[in-house]
Structure 1
Amino acid sequence: MAATAPADDRPDNCPSAAAASSPPQPTPEELVARAVAPVKPAFLRPPPVREAPSEENRATGAVPLEKKSKRQFKRERKQEQESVSRLCIAVGKSGNPDACKYGASCRFSHDIDAYLAQKPADLEGSCPFTVQDKLCPYGLNCRFLGTHKDNNALSENHEINPLNKDVQKLLWKTKYKFPKASAQIKHLGLKEVIKTKANAQTEDQKADHDNLDVSCELNGDDKTESLSGPPVNLDCDSGLCEEMVKLEGEPLVGNSVPCVEPRASKKSKVEDGGIHKNGAGTHDTTTYSEDSALVNGLEVPSDDPSSCRVDLVETPHLRERKIIDFREKLYLAPLTTVGNLPFRRLCKTLGADITCGEMAMCTNLMQGQASEWALLRRHSSEDLFGVQICGAFPDTVARTVELVDNECSFDFIDINMGCPIDVVVNKGAGSQLLTKPMRIKSIVQASSAVTERPLTVKVRTAFFEGRNRADSLVSDIYDWGASAITIHGRSRQQRYSKLADWDYIYQCAQKAPDDLHVIGNGDIFSYTDWNRHVSGCSKISTCMIARGALIKPWIFTEIKEQKDWDITSGERFNILKDFAHFGLEHWGSDSKGVETTRHFLLEWLSYTCRYIPVGLLDVVPQRLNWRPPSYCGRDDLETLMASDSAADWVRISEMLLGKVPEGFTFAPKHKSNAYDRAENG
């Protein structure tokens, strides 16, 4: 689709590059061939001239940011704690200086008058809680204090999956029990390594399994993989090995586990109230002897002759489980940093059908880290929601699946086997698993057997460029226990450079069994891209939308309405305003919550600046790999939104969240290499 713009469409404040004496402009077709966005000449402007450093800066050697030492950070934290700006939460919520149960020993200020005297001015707008006739949980700390209403309504929380404090304490003490995962790992012929406070010799032996000393044999995969410390013997018993030979190739659900040599009988002991229930899940709080086995959450002594074969927890066969029909549903990909709960909530309002939480590391969840558990939070509007986890070893992933299955509300669980980040790959997780197919098998088999909810897997085409491996998984992964597989059409080495290989995704889909959902991923940026890929292969159930949703979250509306939406700057600003509102509800309306919302808004704006309005293009729709030239919009706000300068993103945030604090700086966490050549790593 091509169009030309009349000359008077150019904004008055936009000097056209075509007006200046310059060589003839390339045609839209030539620009597209060079992956440059064909913006109408009327909106083009010369690229900005970068100013050279001043003589004063050269002489002084001034740098914009100075790295602070640990001592400086410690001193600043102490000063902040002693400051009256740190008003006690209990005092701020109630307005009563005596409301804090810690009294004079509280490390926060109880001086309300001093706090209000130095508190920044209220932000424009209304408190996101009181507009819904709720009691603001932040009280005097709220940055919208002047709009608070005098009511007694209770604050209703629409977010699900908070981390229970009792569960967190059990995880800290490594006393949380995993009967299903333990039984399945034993059935696979692997011995799990569970460190407890009683047998841990050093602080280095705590729950991070990715750093545990382990030697493990996985059917020929990495015959001896020693990560650190003295090796731990994981050879299985001879009787168990003989039984495993007989059971080789059978599904690992609803089977029985042979035990070791029987000894003298000992009565099993189950205390009343030994199972502690917490919302959606259960966890065992009883203590067990060293000679007992855990089955169905009960203590069964391994030295009982009558218990030589222990029945595993009955898990329905894959075909008998709850089924999720992914076909032609709009699936928002799990996105690191930017795919937070407020952003997913925003995408739901714009038409997304399926949402998935950010990738959470298994080892961090097992340690009870509150920041990692926050990635599992779910909003009540997310009616079809999945959680995504990432781990390197079968026992770690299986125990995490059991933990999340017990304690969280979700519809499916996704295992990330495609993450390209170095810190994940170096621990053997993410896309590193593509080089270990037998470990993938063990992880899927062990994990699928401990939950009745659908299990999905996300992979890339390969680890190394030109050595595709995904097609060898799709034919077997359903039998291992997965309900769906998502294939990102790039290798780990390729990262996000070049276009996704959809021809290879189609080849993989053709090899998949009929009951396995195959989800394609890569470069969906318009409704025409969606239509082409969904209709390109009948075995493709749906497409996952990732960076396309970051750059223009209204892509879900475009697909449902089958149009290229020439959205105005005012409509885009209202979407940003909705995100800010959702962010204040999620992170809080006090000063800390406002700045957290600002941080994630700025991270998102580092992507939205790549959007080029439909009315400015000679060729529609925009492709994801097009490099935008320097151009100006149809109004000042549209021009501001097109800027790739962090200073302009901060200006937009100030329009929504007020002035930034003194000394504020921002640098985006993620820098896409979508325009760069493939990395060699």
Structure 2
Amino acid sequence: MGDQKTLDNNTSNDISAADAPAPAQVQPTAEELVAKAIAPVKRDFLRPPPDRTCDGRESSKADDKATVANDGVSAPILKEKKSKRQLKRERRQEQKSALHICPVVGKSGKVSSCPYNEKCRFSHDLEAFKAQKPDDLEGICPFINSEGPCPYGLACRFAGTHNDDNGEVANGANNGDNRKNEMNVLKKDVQKLLWKNKMKFPKADAALKLLGLLARTRPFTINITFSHEYGRVGKNKKMGDNDNDGQIVANGSGDVDGNSCCKAPVDSSNKLDGVAEVLEEDKPDEADVGDELRPPKKTKCSVDETCSAPLNDVGNLPHRRVCKVLGADVTCGEMAMCTNLLQGQASEWALLRRHSSEDFFGVQICGAYPDTVARTVELIEQHCTVDFIDINMGCPIDIVVNKGAGSALLTKPMRMKSVVEASSRAVDTPVTIKIIILLGTNRLFRGQNRIDSLIQDIGNWGASAVTIHGRTRQQRYSKLADWDYVYQCTRAAPSSLQVLGNGDPWIFTEIKEQRHWDISSGERLNILKDYVRFGLEHWGSDSKGVETTRHFLLEWLSYTCRYIPVGLLDVIPQRINWRPPSYFGRDELETLMASDSAADWIRISEMLLGKVPSGFTFAPKHKSNAYDRAENG
């Protein structure tokens, strides 16, 4: 009996324990969340904890990349490795298919209009092209407000709004190429001089000689590559190896201003890169130096207002036009590699484009050696209209650092000095530099802030301004900028040197209006609509232009998904390194915009640019939707 009583008591205890409510979890305060870099989202918008599998992992995770299958459902990516020869063969076969109508034929609607006839690399089958062409997108042709016909004619994805095959608009308004509002276009004669290594750089060479930096340079083989914007990758070329030199292309597969879309013929004896040894006999006496070679008295680079910093794969011309609409005063192009500019690569020169709305505009270049950079700044001053030229000495990307450029220059202050001095002496345009606060990679410099010790020298070297990114090479977007150190550098700088700090996000409207903007999902969508319109004007309204616009829109969405609306936070403003918990937005669109899934970014792009092609693939290049990974950024 006693044993039975004990058993009953144990059973009763077990039942009571099972029925008892679970102890309430103590919710962390907003301050505790901020201390852990977790976004303090209001409880009303938090999602319930996710279901977990038997091994403790979440049952569903956001995908970093997505492929859209024929049924429109996201599918895993299986990427087949192909040789360069096979890829080239497939590209040529694709160009000859009905998908790629000759741009000249597409614009005019007449097969006889192409000067290359049967030798043209593109298809001339108008009927086959019309049969397979995707349905028109909603809206009107983006070139409706310009003079002349649509530059894409039949190939335009808004051809239904044209009055005829010549691209006239149905409502009678004149139509034409809005890219006439773009400046800094690479001219064909300049490109050919660069291809043949016949461009002269008198000011740069004189400055290099004055500084004792005019050196014997070593020949090297040039590898020509084309960016996402042009969708092509070339390989080493020899002089004269050019199938269709001078063929004009008016769609996104080539230079959008009518330059040749074919690979550039390159002189393998090009000797623009590298500094081997200084020739003392070439160093002139100070008395022989003309006034034009002395450090120029330049107009101060006034950048006291809001500035849009360069951002690879995002800070393109359409994005900068959006920034101007939102209130940016100063804009700067994406980083362009000096060697590629000196080779006349059309894809790299496209990064120097300037829209007429950019009233204070600069370009950013990146190079490892003083001769390369000095010749590039002279080239830009001769053939572009810019207000300043920024030299990137802070890029953390391995492929740049391993070539001695970007943040690698901070390990070599003497070369850094040579680059700035030679460049500033070669041009009248103000030269600025961009740097980071800490190296953190080389064991000799790990943990050392080096900028405050260089800031006085930077002003003496000839730079007009310096932008200090308040993070290390490893931090990328995972940490806040060290503004205290930026202020320390500012106080140490000479009065002649302007110092700018950057590293945290803002919205230009908030700065202009001095308020936290609780922007709605509809207002955010309208900004994206502006971007798409600007993108179609820049990259084209044919299928190639639409998909190029989509690609860069998706890259931008991979950044903006990190934004948490002001109205959802217990603490404002938000910080770039805050990890958001899983949360709902105030409406379905806001929830969708908060997703870090590439498949959801594609859904947003389809609201603006129609369905993606079958088998469409996208993976964010910079992993900007991540918070902790080393490759983040």
Q: Is TM-score (shorter-chain normalized) higher than 0.5?
A: yes
Q: Does 1:447 align with 2:449?
A: no
1:113-124 aligned within 5 A? 113-124=127-138
Aligned-pair distance for 1:24?
A: 2.9
Q: Matched residue of 1:476: which SS?
A: helix
Match of 2:584 in 1: 632
Q: Matched residue of 2:526: which SS?
A: helix
Distance in structure 1 (CA, Å) of the matches to 2:271 and 2:32: 53
Deviates more, 1:63-72 or 1:510-519: 63-72
Deviates more, 1:86-95 or 1:596-605: 86-95
1:360-509 aligned within 5 A? 360-464=336-440, 465-509=446-490
Q: Matched residue of 2:421: which SS?
A: helix
Q: Matched residue of 1:359: which SS?
A: strand
| Aligned counterpart in structure 1 of residue 213 of structure 2, from 190, 200, 205 | 190
Q: Matched residue of 2:99: which SS?
A: coil
Q: Is contact 2:295–2:462 with CA below 8 Å preserved after alignment?
A: no
Distance in structure 2 (CA, Å) of the matches to 1:52 and 1:518: 46
Match of 1:317 in 2: 296
Distance in structure 1 (CA, Å) of the matches to 2:134 and 2:631: 46
Aligned-pair distance for 1:326?
A: 1.8
| Aligned counterpart in structure 2 of residue 570 of structure 1, from 486, 508, 522 | 522
Q: Does 1:591 align with 2:572?
A: no
Distance in structure 2 (CA, Å) of the matches to 1:567 and 1:201: 54
| Paired residue type of 1:236 | E
Match of 1:515 in 2: 496
Match of 1:29 in 2: 31
Aligned-pair distance for 1:674?
A: 7.2
| Paired residue type of 1:334 | P
Q: Is contact 2:562–2:625 with CA below 8 Å preserved after alignment?
A: no
Unaligned segments of structure 1, at least 5 residues? 1-18, 54-61, 217-233, 248-254, 258-310, 524-547, 550-554
1:241-252 aligned within 5 A? 243=285
Deviates more, 1:472-481 or 1:384-393: 472-481
Aligned-pair distance for 1:193?
A: 4.1
| Paired residue type of 1:503 | D
Distance in structure 1 (CA, Å) of the matches to 2:160 and 2:344: 38
Distance in structure 2 (CA, Å) of the matches to 1:582 and 1:47: 41
Aligned-pair distance for 1:20?
A: 11
| Aligned counterpart in structure 2 of residue 658 of structure 1, from 596, 606, 610 | 610
Match of 1:66 in 2: 79
Q: Does 1:155 align with 2:177?
A: yes
Query: Could you tell me the TM-score, scaled by structure 1's length?
Result: 0.74
- Residues 208/579 of structure 1: CA separation in 2 closer, same or farther (3 Å cut): farther
Q: Matched residue of 1:490: which SS?
A: strand
- Residues 108/389 of structure 1: CA separation in 2 closer, same or farther (3 Å cut): same
Distance in structure 2 (CA, Å) of the matches to 1:377 and 1:673: 28
Match of 2:43 in 1: 41
- Residues 208/123 of structure 1: CA separation in 2 closer, same or farther (3 Å cut): farther
- Residues 417/20 of structure 1: CA separation in 2 closer, same or farther (3 Å cut): farther
Q: Does 1:256 align with 2:256?
A: no
Match of 1:552 in 2: none
Q: Is contact 1:494–1:679 with CA below 8 Å preserved after alignment?
A: no
Match of 1:302 in 2: none
Deviates more, 1:65-74 or 1:335-344: 65-74
Aligned-pair distance for 1:111?
A: 2.1
How many correspondences in the alignment?
Answer: 536
Q: Is contact 1:184–1:446 with CA below 8 Å preserved after alignment?
A: yes
Deviations 1:337-373 (A, max 9, x none): 1010000010000000000000111111111111111
Q: Is contact 2:197–2:267 with CA below 8 Å preserved after alignment?
A: no
Q: Does 1:79 align with 2:93?
A: yes
| Paired residue type of 1:80 | E
Match of 2:115 in 1: 101
1:330-341 aligned within 5 A? 330-341=306-317
Deviations 1:440-482 (A, max 9, x none): 1111111111111111111111323421111122212222211
Unaligned segments of structure 2, at least 5 residues? 1-20, 52-57, 62-74, 163-168, 221-236, 240-265, 441-445
Q: Is contact 1:497–1:673 with CA below 8 Å preserved after alignment?
A: no
Aligned-pair distance for 1:46?
A: 2.5
Distance in structure 2 (CA, Å) of the matches to 1:658 and 1:121: 9
Deviations 1:303-357 (A, max 9, x none): xxxxxxxx46456733xx2223222x00111111101000001000000000000
- Residues 340/413 of structure 1: CA separation in 2 closer, same or farther (3 Å cut): same
Q: Is contact 2:407–2:435 with CA below 8 Å preserved after alignment?
A: yes
Deviates more, 1:450-459 or 1:583-592: 450-459
| Paired residue type of 2:191 | Q
| Paired residue type of 1:155 | D
Q: Is contact 1:180–1:312 with CA below 8 Å preserved after alignment?
A: no
Match of 1:168 in 2: 191
Match of 1:88 in 2: 102
Q: Is contact 1:174–1:196 with CA below 8 Å preserved after alignment?
A: no
Distance in structure 2 (CA, Å) of the matches to 1:494 and 1:450: 35
Q: Is contact 2:477–2:576 with CA below 8 Å preserved after alignment?
A: no
1:589-628 aligned within 5 A? 589-628=541-580
| Paired residue type of 1:492 | R
Distance in structure 2 (CA, Å) of the matches to 1:594 and 1:451: 38
Match of 1:236 in 2: 280
Q: Matched residue of 1:449: which SS?
A: helix
Q: Matched residue of 1:461: which SS?
A: strand
Q: Is contact 1:417–1:458 with CA below 8 Å preserved after alignment?
A: yes
Aligned-pair distance for 1:615?
A: 1.4
Aligned-pair distance for 1:672?
A: 3.7
Q: Which one scores higher on RCO, CA 8 angstroms, separation ≥ 6?
A: 2
Match of 1:299 in 2: none
Query: Could you tell me the TM-score, scaled by structure 2's length?
Result: 0.80
Q: Matched residue of 2:314: which SS?
A: coil
Distance in structure 1 (CA, Å) of the matches to 2:349 and 2:427: 19
| Paired residue type of 1:417 | M
| Paired residue type of 1:82 | K
Match of 1:125 in 2: 139
Match of 1:227 in 2: none
Distance in structure 1 (CA, Å) of the matches to 2:327 and 2:283: 52
- Residues 130/201 of structure 1: CA separation in 2 closer, same or farther (3 Å cut): closer
Q: Matched residue of 1:459: which SS?
A: strand
Aligned-pair distance for 1:98?
A: 1.1
- Residues 116/67 of structure 1: CA separation in 2 closer, same or farther (3 Å cut): same
Distance in structure 2 (CA, Å) of the matches to 1:512 and 1:466: 22
Distance in structure 2 (CA, Å) of the matches to 1:350 and 1:371: 27
Distance in structure 2 (CA, Å) of the matches to 1:454 and 1:24: 57
Q: Is contact 1:441–1:477 with CA below 8 Å preserved after alignment?
A: yes
Distance in structure 1 (CA, Å) of the matches to 2:320 and 2:540: 17
Identity %: 66
| Aligned counterpart in structure 1 of residue 319 of structure 2, from 343, 349, 374 | 343
Q: Matched residue of 1:386: which SS?
A: strand
How big is the alpha-carbon RMSD for the aligned residues of Structure 1 and Structure 2? Answer: 2.8
1:212-291 aligned within 5 A? 212=274, 214-216=275-277, 234-237=278-281, 240=283, 243=285, 256-257=288-289
Deviates more, 1:464-473 or 1:92-101: 464-473
